[in-house]
Structure 1
């Protein structure tokens, strides 16, 4: 599904080059559920953002569904992302001015869904995440855990080919966290959705099919489960 070849990412800081990712080569097949682990500052979120086309690599080649992402213009990358990728952010990234219902509906507006289809899909997500009673509230009126559930519902509503999740259970209680991980596992096993998650939790990592450990911006190890 995707292939990274010699990907590096660095920033200039006061005349110094600060490396975040160093020469990463990585292939992820369709249908995998990959957990990325590693200490803080090892480059996990940056790697996820490069894969999710929210950030560009400084060097290297990135192929996604046979397209050369490193050669695409920003508009083309954005279209490829919206068409195929769902992203669950650690910091929610909900739109403050929109209700829960409208936040979840937003990705559907980029696709050709009729109004009745959008209503049915949003209703299904509200029901699945048990947030029907919150649909007319704004993000500021929700707890952190509720905001995270809305973010996950929004990422899943278009049934993306690839789901990227940055600490998806970080703001949930343990019961909610388990339910989300079980849902991810089900989406992976039954629907064939490819999932890449960044996590600090060994327990959550083991829901996947492979664990990749990063250290100092490089792949230190990769093991299949």
Structure 2
């Protein structure tokens, strides 16, 4: 029978995060330097969930020591490692190598400095609500759903919990604090799901700043009179 969510998280939850960081990335590894996808995972996790690093190291190593057979995978009793472009025969040693890199990072205590995201996974891990906003309200279907950019922003504000709106405002300010050039902002919002140009004549950065200013305005309180 398939694993229940709690069992999956206990045994494979952080392993799944690590491997997901490699989807679409080069899994090649050397003994000295972690691959870029693992560097992205380490950088984000050190700054957000440092306790999860030891969990990842343990789960990677345990899975590599006890790889499941085909039957148990088919029955859903084990986690099937997503295909990251490795030959099946090399997956076990690759998992051990990833675990070794994570262990060295923990033992050295060398926290990677904050940096611009380098992978698709890192963009979405760091700017989760911004990805929801851009991918959900500014896909290529936006002109069919809203009169213009302002109408889409207003719909997001009206239909989203205020706490998530506040989170989005914070993520926009964090993105702007990276101080990227226009081309880099274009690439960043594209990674996060935006398929529309900002309204003329604004650049992506200027438009995001205007969105944050609009969303930061507090909603009026229409509660009942006491």
Fold similarity call, TM over 0.5: no
Higher helix content, 1 or 2: 2
| TM class by smaller structure | under 0.3
TM-score, structure 2 as length reference: 0.27
TM-score, structure 1 as length reference: 0.27
Considering Cα pairs closer than 8 Å and 6+ residues apart, tell me whether 1 or 2 has the greater RCO: 1
Structure index of larger Rg? 2
